[in-house]
Amino acid sequence: MNRLSVTGLTKSFGCIKVLDNVSLNLQTGDILGVFGRNGCGKSTLLKILFGTVKANAINMLINNNPLKAKHIIPNGVIAYLPQDPFLPNNLKVRNVIPMYFNDGDLQDKIFFAPGIPKIANTRVGNLSMGELRYLELLLVGNLNHPFLMLDEPFSMVEPLYKERIKEFLNQLKTTKGIIVTDHYYRDILSVSTSNILLKDGKTITITTENQLITEGYLPESLLNQ
């Protein structure tokens, strides 16, 4: 089992403090849901943990050993699925898979995943949003990283592929610790093992959907619906 611990994470943009002494813990088997309004720092948090945005202050431990941001990518510690598509639009799905994996067994694992054979000869640019996000997640999720972060994996995704993404995440958590952030909060709540809300730079532990309402993330009209 792998463990990731983050304490004292602080990030400011000019005089605006976006993240203020944030802490989180993640281990194999966890799916941590991260909620927050636009601009609260969710994507910034993920990019800091991935090592592409520099924090003002942060302490990171992996399995109780110090981890510096500059070592995250070279050491293959945390895989990251960003909000924006990153696959080349002109390539067919079957030609994208070998770009990520040389191993034939891993290639077959992705190629024969549910729904992929049907779109294997489709160009990436012609995929639906659900097909694209599912393919991206299969590629990133099968990398040999102990931790995985997903930024808006459910956004604009059709129901069939939401379910396939959820099934895959439940498989992945047996070998990885996962962080997921998305405005489709019920999709996150259906797979997460714990949740936090980013508000005013701080984290609030969330244990119920109603708490998202009382903390001002969701409108009061949804209370007890």
pLDDT, position 223 = 59
What's the pLDDT band for 202 if we cut at 50, 70, 90?
very high
pLDDT, position 75 = 80
For the chain, the average pLDDT equals 92
How many CB atoms lie under 10 A from the CB of residue 8? Answer: 13
How many CB atoms lie under 10 A from the CB of residue 172? Answer: 16
What's the pLDDT band for 219 if we cut at 50, 70, 90?
confident
Amino acid at residue number 70: K
pLDDT, position 225 = 57
Q: How many domains does the chain have?
A: 1
Residue 136 tokens read as 């991206």
Residue carrying structure tokens 């609260």: 40
Residue 180 tokens read as 């997921």
Residue 23 tokens read as 């802490």
92 has pLDDT over 60: yes
What's the pLDDT band for 50 if we cut at 50, 70, 90?
very high
**CATH number of the CATH domain containing 174:** 3.40.50.300
Q: How far is CA 65 from CA 4, 26, 49, 51, 155, in A?
A: 9, 14, 15, 17, 35
% of the chain exceeding 70 in pLDDT: 98
Whether 79 and 138 have beta carbons less than 8 Å apart is answered as: no
87 has pLDDT over 90: yes
pTM (2 d.p.): 0.93
| Sign of the alpha-carbon dihedral angle for 81, 85, 88, 93 | positive
Enclosing domain of residue 113:
3-222
d(CA 55, CA 89): 33
